[in-house]
Amino acid sequence: MITKDSIENLKNHIEIVDVISQFLELKKSGANFKACCPFHGEDTPSFVVSPSKQIFHCFGCGVGGDSIKFIMDYEKLSYPEAIEKLASMYNVALNYDNNYKQQDTSIMDKVNDYYQKLLTTNDTAKEYLQSRGISANSIEKFEIGYAPTSNETINFLKQNLLNLADAKDFGIIDNGQNGLYARFIQRITFPIRALNDKIVGFGGRTITGHNAKYINSPQTKIFNKSRLLYGYSLAKDNIYKKNQIIVTEGYLDVVMLHQAGFNNAVATLGTALTQEHLPILKRGNPKIIVAYDGDKAGLNAAFKASKLLSHSDFEGGVIIFPQGVDPADMVQYKQIEELNNIFSNPIDFVAFALDFIISQYDLNTPLQKQKAWGEANEYLQALSPIIRSEYTQYIASKLNINQNIINISSQPQRRKTVQLASVDISELEIIKTLLENDKLIDIVLNTIDPDMFVTHKAEFEMLINEPDNPQLRGLLIREDIKTYDEDSLKQRLNMMLINYYTNQLTQVKYSDIPNKAKQLRKLQEKIFRLKQGKDSIY
């Protein structure tokens, strides 16, 4: 691990405006700098960098943090990777704990080079790629190669004095009954790169009719197929640019879609989309297009993906290729127009999931219809209330049942949301003052009741309980929200009290309660004293 001291040392050497300027064009705006946010599409800048606080924050999509966080988000790196990147950008040395050995994966590059070189001399492999319509450009871009016989690979490793233990650890070879053998034998190879661009594994397609058409590297300490997406490192810039990512099922789909200009396509590695893929998909918040085959397996996988993605609030939808046709075929047969059409008409995740559920039942019998509704409703319950109610109408019309029968309002709400929509500037000013000077918190707590925060009570409570919550970060950076010194804060709180009691007064005036006159007098006196500055305790 990188030592804490050297991370601190690095932080002292970097300046956030300088760091971000290397990636974005920043414009001065008051004490801060602004740019169009690189993490969500926008035309008017809401991405703000504060040199005084050394943080960035986007008022559009909410991303933000320090320099390291920016590099993590922008370059799609893990925390230690971002630190290493910054250290090399600014020539700062890092120290590592003794027990940490940085993973040297250079053997993967050497094997990849070897596979690529072999492809140029293997006619069968070249003919196969040609028959699938894969261009020379694509072969180069995706570094497609050819893995030879087992012996040839092992000889290559030995002759080049490569570390056989590493080769085994990274899944290139393994120990069998008759000694070492190569995992990829007479296969077209597709190197798989992690988010940091390092090769962590291979995919291989047989060209000698082996039973397993496709295989992947086995699970190793650097290769976890449920956290990787094939083609992501080549697609990532386009994913950000287009604000869309296409998720397919296979290597060839990715290669061919890129070849046809759909250069934001990636693929899962022979697995369904899982929870573990979501952090990668979330990067940059692109719309997600799940593009699967129309066979039974494809439809099932698309249903599972739709449920997973809609429950995690991802935007996007599903496209299903006609049965027996895959995107690779369509590109090969130059059906680009049709592909464009298909890709511009995805079925959104919720509608797809509901249609799929309904398709599993025979709606001619009332009992089946009821079961279909039961399953659909169970799925809907995990969605947010607005989406749920929207699609309740959809499902009612699909099942041809009266919507009044469906009572959704009695269902408990799953989500708790913090309301940030409405704004009360003076309340925000108090909160920002306390964020910058927490010594003043006692004054506020001694003067007013937290319930007196009408619009921003949630933020006030967050400030008390978890002042580091990123939801408060945007407030720190906002120039339109001013802060107070101690005296003006007291005046502000006094006004808040006056407003509070004036509201109460109005309520009592128009209510019908016992002792109304007495209550009114009490409140009037309180307000009078507050206005005179004689009373500032609630």
Shortest distance (Å) from residue 63 CB to Zn ion: 6
Query: Any idea what the Cα angle at residue 363 is, between residues 360 and 365, rounded to 5°?
Result: 120
Shortest distance (Å) from residue 522 CB to Zn ion: 50
Residue with token string 């086995």: 218
Cα 354 to Cα 391: distance, rounded to the nearest angstrom: 9
Cα 146 to Cα 215: distance, rounded to the nearest angstrom: 14
Enter the tokens of residue 198: 């390092």
Nearer to Zn ion, 37 or 481 (CB): 37
**Candidate segments 60-68, 159-167, 219-227, 414-422, binder of Zn ion by CB under 5 A:** 60-68
Nearer to Zn ion, 60 or 385 (CB): 60
Q: Kindly give the residue spans of alpha helices, DSSP state H, lying in 226-295.
A: 232-242, 251-259, 278-282
Query: Any idea what the Cα angle at residue 446 is, between residues 444 and 447, rounded to 5°?
Result: 65
Cβ atoms < 10 Å from Cβ of 402: 8
Shortest distance (Å) from residue 73 CB to Zn ion: 10
Q: For residue 318, what are the β-bridge partners?
A: 290, 347
Cβ atoms < 10 Å from Cβ of 439: 8
Shortest distance (Å) from residue 474 CB to Zn ion: 11
Options 61, 222, 358, 435; binder of Zn ion; rule CB under 5 A: 61
The reply on whether position 60 binds Zn ion by CB under 5 A is: yes
Cα 148 to Cα 187: distance, rounded to the nearest angstrom: 7
The reply on whether position 473 binds Zn ion by CB under 5 A is: no
Nearer to Zn ion, 73 or 293 (CB): 73
The reply on whether position 58 binds Zn ion by CB under 5 A is: yes
Nearer to Zn ion, 61 or 280 (CB): 61
Chain centroid offset of residue 172 CA? 31
Shortest distance (Å) from residue 240 CB to Zn ion: 11
Residue 476, Ramachandran bin (φ over 0: left; ψ between -120 and 50: alpha; else beta): alpha
**Candidate segments 54-62, 174-182, 334-342, 348-356, binder of Zn ion by CB under 5 A:** 54-62
Shortest distance (Å) from residue 68 CB to Zn ion: 18
Nearer to Zn ion, 40 or 258 (CB): 40
Shortest distance (Å) from residue 52 CB to Zn ion: 21
Dihedral of CA atoms 304, 310, 312, 314 in degrees, nearest 10, equals: 110
The reply on whether position 470 binds Zn ion by CB under 5 A is: no
Nearer to Zn ion, 237 or 338 (CB): 237
Cα 265 to Cα 234: distance, rounded to the nearest angstrom: 9
Q: What are phi and psi of 204, to 5 degrees?
A: -140, 135
**Long-range contacts: 414-419, Cβ < 8 Å, 24+?**
414/381, 414/382, 414/384, 415/384, 415/385, 418/458, 418/459, 418/462, 418/471, 419/458
Cβ atoms < 10 Å from Cβ of 361: 19
The reply on whether position 289 binds Zn ion by CB under 5 A is: no
Nearer to Zn ion, 40 or 388 (CB): 40
Amino acid at position 39, single letter: F
Q: For residue 287, what are the β-bridge partners?
A: 244
Shortest distance (Å) from residue 460 CB to Zn ion: 25
Nearer to Zn ion, 285 or 447 (CB): 285
Binding mask 4-43 for Zn ion (x = CB under 5 A): ---------------------------------x-xx---
Nearer to Zn ion, 40 or 277 (CB): 40
Nearer to Zn ion, 336 or 420 (CB): 420
Indicate the pairing of strand 47-50 with strand 55-58.
Answer: antiparallel
Shortest distance (Å) from residue 285 CB to Zn ion: 8
Cα 7 to Cα 12: distance, rounded to the nearest angstrom: 9
Nearer to Zn ion, 58 or 269 (CB): 58
The reply on whether position 240 binds Zn ion by CB under 5 A is: no
Burial of residue 435 (number of CB atoms within 10 Å: 0-12, 13-18, 19+) = middle
Cα 223 to Cα 204: distance, rounded to the nearest angstrom: 15
**Candidate segments 57-65, 139-147, 209-217, 412-420, binder of Zn ion by CB under 5 A:** 57-65
Tell me the number of residues near Zn ion by CB under 5 A. Answer: 6
Shortest distance (Å) from residue 74 CB to Zn ion: 12
Shortest distance (Å) from residue 231 CB to Zn ion: 25
Shortest distance (Å) from residue 39 CB to Zn ion: 5
Nearer to Zn ion, 40 or 205 (CB): 40
Chain centroid offset of residue 268 CA? 16
Give the binding site for Zn ion (CB under 5 A): 37, 39-40, 58, 60-61
